[in-house]
Structure 1
Amino acid sequence: MKRKPSAPQSIKTLDKDLGRIGTLELATQTVSRPLIAPGIALAFMVLVGIGASVFTGGQPMGLVVVAASVFGAYMALNIGANDVANNMGPAVGARALTLGGALIIAAVCETAGALLAGGDVVGTVSRGIIAPESVAEPQIFIWAMMAALISAALWINLATIIGAPVSTTHSVVGGVMGAGIASAGFAAVNWPVMGAIAASWVISPIMGGVIAAAFLAFINARIIYVPDKIAAARVWVPVLIGVMAGTFTVYMGIKGITRIYKPGLGLSMLAGIVAAVLIWWIMRPVIRHQSEGLENRNKSLKTLFSIPLVFSAALLSFAHGANDVANAVGPLAAIVHAVGEGGASDAAVEIPIWVMLIGAVGLSVGLILFGPKLIRMVGSEITKLNAMRAWCVALAAAITVIIASWLGLPVSSTHIAIGGIFGVGFFREWYAENVLRKERNNGTLPPEERIRRKLVRRSHFLTIIAAWVITVPAAALLSAGVFRLLNLITL
């Protein structure tokens, strides 16, 4: 029996070397992949700094504006990573949108909202939170705004890392308050305003949760738990879509298009009623056609809510870009104004287009790079959402903002959206337990059975509530520390 000739030693060595190189390449890819997103974010901030230096070249304190622009870009990235998940998370969790589709729609709508309808004027951020006269000296005011910007961005970044959707508005408010206290003492803070903001921690999520649960209860009673679901859907789904259209018309009128036109609450309400009736009339034959051939089960109903849910998520993103871009660029605009005018001002501060562009692009870049983590958490890890439940959350968010604007309450869109998700989840728990009790002739459920049937993840609930409670004080403490550090550096 002949022995097989062995491969030359040089070929064996080559194979081993190629194997080592392949392993090294795989290890390099594995290590470097998590660094891609931070690298792109850093490149964006560098580009913003270069661009800001072009606009401020030769100006006194131009380097201060450049630094503020970089921190404004960092803030915008963090808002995109954290805040936008509230609008797109329910649609992704309900599988009405893929994650990639949600990122594209949100990026386009956020940018469009910021550039087309973003606030063209913003009151100096210190106005209303701290007394302007207490930070009248230009350097104190500029460092206070810089400290607020840095601390809010750091806090939102930390919240994103631990998976807690927090209010960017409250983060900025806390930053301004902390810098104001560090610069002028506790007497400089407008405590009634801060009390109203603290009250919104409780009011906005409860209001959003109750409204979302009420809509889900209505859908359960009128559509889901009836003998002929499809016939009921043909009657009620056009009505609900009409309500959604009317609500978002009002919402856009009072929150989303104020830069283009300010119709006021009365005209917005009238336009909302007209839109609701018109869309209801249009959707009746559409829903009738869509429902033909569908089986009489809940899965069939989800298809009827998917497209309205996508539109609601897109509109929420547009309105978010129009309103919350001020959180990213408000302190930056105040710094630019202070450098140009020589200090704080009681007058409204116009946001230059290049400053607005930083906020708009930063929101989208932050969303694409870092948003998927929180989108998944909001959409599927708090409680299970389908198209109908997610639709209730989106509609509740819009209605709550309208009611809050009418009552003059300072509410957070983040708190409202998350409150709506919790409201839907807790309502489902209550409803399931109530049905089970009736089946057992009002018998009490064993504790083990009650725990097993929980539909809301308590760990996420506690983490989010804790993050909400400490957002303002944490941002304030960070801001006070940053303000002191800036003062020491510039002495």
Structure 2
Amino acid sequence: MGVELILWVAIAFGFYMAWSIGANDAANAMGTSVGSKAISFKEAVIIAAIFEFSGAFIAGSSVTDTMRRGIIDPLLFNDPAVVGTTEGSTLFMLGMLAALISAALWLHLAAMLGWPVSTTHSIVGAITGFGVVAVGPSYIQWGTLAKIVSSWAVSPLTGGILAFLVFTVVRKMIFDAPNPVAAVKRWSPVLVFPVFVVLALVIFLKGMPGVDLESYGIGNTEIWMLSALVGVVGSAISAFFVRKIDPPEGDDPQLHVAKVERVFRYLQIATACFVAFAHGSNDVANSIGPLAAIVGTFNEGAITAKVPVPTWVLLLGGAGIVVGLATYGYKVIETIGTKITEITPSRGFAAEFGAASTILMGSQLGLPISTTHTVVGAVIGVGFARGMTALNLGIIWNIVKSWVYTLPVAAGSTIAIYFVMKTAWSAFISPL
């Protein structure tokens, strides 16, 4: 009866965790598109409902690590010399539940304050806190944790530099041209090709953890060829539509800018769809990882390093992300889309392309890149392209502080929740 209680509570908080990810992390992916007015908040929710959910359900990981990022070896809980006399599987399930609750609460609080924080860092901090008190600090992989902390600098800096460079190229090639409309008709198909190649690579190499491409005869060579094909198709479609753009009447520069931004609006919508799919397929594991670990331990009666993820758990995670964005994502969207710097479709396009390129590079190099930190850095990068006065340094400082708070707050709250649940288990439930 007691173990079943853990399972049902975990299911409830698994959905709450997914809701919190939707309210915070999914809002990051949509922030630039809504902030630039390329799409409305309602349209962002529709895109998320289609692409975030599809990514989570179709391409979400079918097998998940029970301990995110290798912070702790879960098999330690099978060793009585490490965990003591209490049954290891029970301690493990209680710890995963404590981590789930803690990370969800922190993401919810951050969303209330409009702070875009990393879901992965929240889970990693929570599991680290649990590991320290359950098996001891000597068993924590501190080197792995240090690599994750390093992404506080690596992710936003790289994303910011790439977004800055992309927007600078766009500005010089198109906006600073004598005839911006003619320039966008000439150069947009050229720009679209690398953008769609990168987005396709992100989907194939990072955004489909639950799909075994090799079983379909698709290796790295085929992935690059397919991505190049996506780039060619995207470029051809762009060329077909932009040639229909009529030049504005008169020489008013603002009329030219409005026509050009309209082209980038559609490009930004396309990138938002790609990013939403990749986000759903990847970050659903953050919401369902601890839940899947609890379900797997409950079903098998033992702890394993990797556990299968039932279809209903993927559905729960995908649905929770969409509901979270729809009901509470507006606060983080407002921070990303309007409070850091002014976002236009062209700047939003540069930010999303810079972020996607950073995520792709990090995936290929094995670097712990945070999607949240990368998107924020990319938005700062396009703002910096217009000078420091274009940036709201107060908001940026608050965001950076929230990143620093994430690991210790998640770890500390997990420790407190774990001790309360362990005490309650020993006093009231275990004797039954």
Q: What is the one-letter code of the residue matched to 1:486? A: M
Q: CA offsets, 1:31-50, max 9 Å, x none?
A: xxxxxxxxxxxxxxxxxxxx
Of residues 36, 39, 42 in structure 2, which corresponds to 1:97? Answer: 39
SS at match of 2:166: helix
Aligned partners of 1:363, 1:169: CA distance in 2, in Å?
Answer: 15
Q: CA deviation at 1:60?
A: 7.3
Cα 1:338–1:275 change in 2 (3 A) is same
Partner in structure 2 of residue 342 of structure 1: 301
Cα 1:459–1:258 change in 2 (3 A) is same
Aligned partners of 1:170, 1:118: CA distance in 2, in Å?
Answer: 19
Q: CA deviation at 1:305?
A: 0.8
Partner in structure 1 of residue 409 of structure 2: 474
Partner in structure 1 of residue 390 of structure 2: 455
Partner in structure 1 of residue 270 of structure 2: 311
8 Å contact kept, 1:119–1:258: yes
8 Å contact kept, 1:129–1:173: yes
Q: What is the one-letter code of the residue matched to 2:235? A: W
8 Å contact kept, 1:294–1:300: no
Aligned partners of 2:201, 2:126: CA distance in 1, in Å?
Answer: 31
* Residue 232 of structure 2 is aligned to residue 277 of structure 1: yes
Aligned partners of 2:291, 2:367: CA distance in 1, in Å?
Answer: 25
8 Å contact kept, 1:173–1:472: yes
Aligned partners of 1:120, 1:294: CA distance in 2, in Å?
Answer: 55
Q: What is the one-letter code of the residue matched to 2:280? A: G
Partner in structure 1 of residue 400 of structure 2: 465
SS at match of 1:349: strand
Q: CA deviation at 1:308?
A: 1.4
* Residue 129 of structure 2 is aligned to residue 178 of structure 1: yes
Aligned partners of 2:247, 2:178: CA distance in 1, in Å?
Answer: 17
* Residue 175 of structure 2 is aligned to residue 224 of structure 1: yes
8 Å contact kept, 1:126–1:132: no
Of residues 295, 298, 306 in structure 1, which corresponds to 2:257? Answer: 298
Residues matched between the structures, number: 409
Aligned partners of 1:260, 1:393: CA distance in 2, in Å?
Answer: 28
Residues 97-116 of structure 1 mapped to structure 2, 5 A cutoff:
97-116=39-58
8 Å contact kept, 2:6–2:97: no
Aligned partners of 2:21, 2:421: CA distance in 1, in Å?
Answer: 24
Of residues 28, 40, 52 in structure 2, which corresponds to 1:86? Answer: 28
Partner in structure 1 of residue 205 of structure 2: 254
8 Å contact kept, 1:250–1:265: no
SS at match of 2:364: helix
8 Å contact kept, 1:114–1:359: yes
Structure 1: runs of 5 or more not aligned: 1-58, 431-453
Cα 1:261–1:341 change in 2 (3 A) is closer
SS at match of 1:61: helix
Q: CA deviation at 1:278?
A: 3.3
Cα 1:329–1:163 change in 2 (3 A) is same
Q: CA deviation at 1:267?
A: 3.1
Q: CA deviation at 1:132?
A: 2.4
* Residue 196 of structure 2 is aligned to residue 238 of structure 1: no
Partner in structure 2 of residue 20 of structure 1: none
Structure 2: runs of 5 or more not aligned: 79-87, 427-432
Q: Percent identity?
A: 36
Q: TM-score, normalised by structure 1?
A: 0.80
Aligned partners of 2:249, 2:8: CA distance in 1, in Å?
Answer: 59
Q: CA deviation at 1:261?
A: 4.2
Q: Which has the higher contact order (CA 8 A, sep 6+)?
A: 2
Aligned partners of 2:46, 2:311: CA distance in 1, in Å?
Answer: 23
Which deviates more, 284-293 or 106-115? 284-293
Aligned partners of 2:236, 2:409: CA distance in 1, in Å?
Answer: 50
Aligned partners of 2:134, 2:279: CA distance in 1, in Å?
Answer: 32
Residues 380-391 of structure 1 mapped to structure 2, 5 A cutoff:
380-391=338-349
* Residue 156 of structure 2 is aligned to residue 205 of structure 1: yes
Partner in structure 2 of residue 56 of structure 1: none
* Residue 138 of structure 2 is aligned to residue 187 of structure 1: yes
Aligned partners of 1:291, 1:173: CA distance in 2, in Å?
Answer: 52
Task: Give the superposed CA RMSD.
Answer: 1.6
8 Å contact kept, 1:107–1:367: no
SS at match of 2:307: strand
Q: CA deviation at 1:293?
A: 4.3
8 Å contact kept, 2:31–2:336: yes
Aligned partners of 1:337, 1:375: CA distance in 2, in Å?
Answer: 35
Aligned partners of 2:356, 2:404: CA distance in 1, in Å?
Answer: 23
Aligned partners of 2:237, 2:54: CA distance in 1, in Å?
Answer: 27
Q: CA deviation at 1:388?
A: 0.3
Aligned partners of 1:195, 1:223: CA distance in 2, in Å?
Answer: 42
Partner in structure 1 of residue 77 of structure 2: 135
Aligned partners of 2:2, 2:111: CA distance in 1, in Å?
Answer: 36
Which deviates more, 378-387 or 264-273? 264-273
Q: CA deviation at 1:281?
A: 3.2
Q: CA deviation at 1:101?
A: 1.2
Partner in structure 2 of residue 8 of structure 1: none
Partner in structure 1 of residue 350 of structure 2: 392
